[in-house]
Structure 1
Amino acid sequence: MRRDPAYDGRFFTAVKTTGIYCRPVCPVKQPKRQNVVFYPSAAAAERAGFRPCLRCRPETAPFSAAWNGTQATVSRALKLIEEGALDRAGVEALADRLGIGARHLARLFDRHLGASPGAVARTYRLHRAKRLLRESELRITDIAFQSGFGSIRRFNAAFAALYGRPPSSFRAPRAR
């Protein structure tokens, strides 16, 4: 077997005799072919009872979350925020779901996005509300709550702060 970096992260090699799985680029001595099992992911190898190699560190293979670094955490957080995670709970709860602290999450957002998780959530809420104002016939109070705002007052204040005008001014003109 060759140590071809083109295959790094695409499959993992597990050695039956040692109970360890490795990346294809691992510098260890190659095992006998009859002692090797191949797995499509590190999770599959671990599920089969193999431990990760301490030399090649399979958890850092390309295409893994660790390889993507902190950007993967920020991407997961953005997806959860877009789904409304901060509409129902605070930043602490979001950080707990991601397995990190709230302060660390705030630092990651500042580094990668230049904004706090709360500011990102507010922007998502405003965009959601603006779209509903233009495309639906819902009452403005219903739109406020569907967009994730906790109160009408916050809804109106957010529009006034960002756009300098009330939410009703974004309604599409109605055909008579």
Structure 2
Amino acid sequence: MKVEKKGLLFLSYGSPSSKEDLVPYMTSIRHGRVPTEGEIANLTRRYDVIDQWSNLELQKMAENQYKTLMTLLPTMPSAIGYLHMKPSIAEAVDSLVHQGVEHIIAIVTAPFFTSLGTGAYEKQVQATIGKHGAVTFDFIRSWWDQPAFTEYWEKAVADCVSATKDIFVIFSAHSIPLI
């Protein structure tokens, strides 16, 4: 019996790491429409406010999540692909196929699925895999409601509360499930 070689495709939105990345980034988001000078200036100001250009943690958030995941799966072929930056989703899929992967398991950094949001990642994966013949894939549409994820956050919040009574922890409504 032949066992297919599996690989992990980690997907993220992408974020510009320099001001030079803004035009290609916004052009991708706008489906090929180049932004105006005013739109670039507005986005530049917004990124200046959050310290995008010098905050390496912010710039490397997806890469750090990917590296953490890879510590759990160190022998599995893997690649990271971005919806709006390089390496693209297509480049990441091609990389896995060139590593001999026959079945791709794709997971998006966003914990929930929407057809317009994370569905765009799935469509790009499907389109690229379609060019590779017999390669198949599974797409993890949501992971926020998995018991292990919920248990992790319950413990992390409890540990934080018990260790530091004077620090407030703020979560985005989109990044943590109701527990």
- Structure 1 length-normalised TM: 0.25
TM-score by length of 2: 0.25
Who wins on radius of gyration, i.e. which is larger? 1
Structure with greater contact order relative to length (CA < 8 Å, sep ≥ 6): 2
